[in-house]
Structure formats: structure tokens, C-alpha cells
Copies of this chain bind each other. A is one copy, B any other.
Amino acid sequence: MPAGSRAAWDNKLVSRARELEQRLERTEQQLRLLQKISRLLVREVKLEEALHDVVSLVVEFMECDSCLLYLLDNRELVLCASNNPQPATVGRVKLALNEGLTGWVAREKRLLAISREAYHDSRFKFFSDLPEDTYEAFLSAPIISRRGVEGVINVQHRDPHPHSGIEMELLTSVGEHVGCLLMLSQLEGKANEGPDLVLSTGGERVAGS
């Protein structure tokens, strides 16, 4: 083989190995995320704490800029956990089922992935107090349990981000795991205080009142 072709062949091999290394690292991260959430299923933790842990884990392992978790309460979606240190929004931001991309996901029980300019989508709803409103990429999955839709979990990137099939399936599984957490919390007799418990972290009861 001439030296030039050989060098090109070597470069191709090196970049193939590098690409595989990156994909392996990402897949291992995704596996670890489900394993960490799985641990929350068997630990005696308060629902509020578990939801906060899920949001932190998603941000860490999916390398996104924001994760917001909404729970359905009296046909409204109420923001119950956020990785963003703006506690005033938790329990206060709420959406009707016919509002926003989040409402669409809960209504349709379907995953939604927008890789750029999510804010230009006609279904978008702006909140003046959520910095995530300016983010480019939006991935959203319903939180589902055996009872049906329980809420929505959103993952956002500031910059455009094409979502891989694995990322989409992963967030779907996270939504299922959170649905399971909600049912387990009900089993522990905490169901009735559940939503209030979460919402009260904003310092004010907004749902069901």
C-alpha cells in the first residue's frame, strides 16, 4: 500500500476507535443512570427527595442543562422538581393539559424531541420566570405508571442537540421509573400527602387549593 493510503487508513482506524470509545462511555453512563434510579426504588426515601435525586441524576448522566419534572394534580401539571436553583418556581409553575409542549406530551402520552429552536414550536408556552424558555433543544417524556399518565419529565439543552434513539428510550424508561416511584409512595400510605408534600416546598400550596 502506498504511504499516503496507509496514513489515511490509519487515521480512519484511529477515529473509528475514538468514536467507539465515546459511544461506549455514553452508553455506560446511560446504564448507570437507570441503575442509580433503580436503587431509589428500593430505598426508603421520601417522594420529594427521590424526585429531586432523579432530576440531579438525569442532569449528571444525560449531560443536559436542565431537567424539570411536572406531576399531574387535578388536571394541572405542577412543576415539582428542577435542577435549577430557583426554588420559587417549584410548586408555582403550572400548566393546563392543553398548554405548552409539556401539556401536549401528557395529553398524547408520547415522547417529544425537538433538536433546535424549541421556543419556535407553536405549542410552546413561555413563563417569564423559567430561564429554560430560551433553550434550544427539548426532550420530553410522559411519566407513566399502571394507573396512566402521572406527569412529564423534560430534558433541555441550551444549544441545539440532536437526540439519539438511545437518549429517547432512556428518558422514556426514566418516566416509567418515576411512575413506579409514585405508586410505591402511595403504597407506603403517603399518597394523599404526596402532591402537597412536593408543592409545599415552594412555600405555598398552589395545587388542589
List residues of A whose CB falls within 8 A of some B CB: 6, 9-10, 13-14, 16-17, 20-21, 23-24, 27-28, 30-31, 34-35, 38-39, 41-44, 144-146, 166, 169-170, 172-173, 176-177, 179-180, 183-184, 186-188
Contacts and interface: CB of A to CB of B under 8 A. Distances in A.
B10 A176 contact: no
Contacts of A187: 183-184, 186-187
A11 to B, nearest CB: 10
A28 B30 CA distance: 9
Nearest to A23: B24
A61 to B, nearest CB: 12
B184 A146 contact: yes
A176 B39 contact: yes
B169 A180 contact: no
Given A41-B176, A180-B184, 20 more contacts: A6-B6, A10-B10, A10-B13, A13-B13, A13-B14, A13-B17, A16-B17, A20-B24, A27-B27, A28-B166, A31-B34, A31-B166, A31-B170, A35-B169, A38-B177, A41-B179, A41-B180, A42-B180, A43-B146, A180-B180
A151 B72 CA distance: 34
A188 B187 CA distance: 10
B27 A31 contact: yes
A186 B176 CA distance: 18
A13 B28 CA distance: 22
Contacts of A173: 34-35, 38-39
Contacts of A34: 31, 34-35, 38, 173
